[in-house]
Amino acid sequence: MTKFKCECGKEKDLSKWKIVHNGTDWVVSEAECECGLYMNQELTEEHEGMPRLKRTEPSLSKKRDKLWEGAKERVKGLK
C-alpha cells in the first residue's frame, strides 16, 4: 500500500493508482482529496536504496555471458 497525504491533513492508502496530467501538473487521479487538492505520496524507508531486479527473460540468461567470452577470445586470436 502506498500512503498519500493532503496539505489539509487527510490521509489515504492506495494499492493501485494511475498518474494523469491535469493540465498543469502530473497527479495521481485516485489521490484527489475532498478539499479539491491532490495528495502527495509519503515516502517511507521502503523507498530507499536500489531496487532488486530479477532477470526473467530467456535472452538474458547466463548462456549469453559464455557466448560473449568465446567471441571475445576469437576476436583477440586466442582460440
Query: What pLDDT, on the 0 to 100 scale, is given for residue 64?
Result: 55
- The mean predicted confidence, pLDDT, of the chain is 80
Q: Is the pTM of this model over 0.85?
A: no
CA distance 33 to 14: 13
pLDDT for 39: 93
Q: Above 90 in pLDDT, residue 67?
A: no
Q: Which residues of 9-32 are buried (b: 16+ CB within 10 A; e: fewer)?
A: eeebeeeeeeeeeeeeeebbebbb
Distance (Å, whole) CA 30 – CA 14:
8
The stretch 14-35 carries a mean pLDDT of 90
**1 or 36, which is more confident?**
36
Instruction: State mean pLDDT over 52-70.
Output: 65
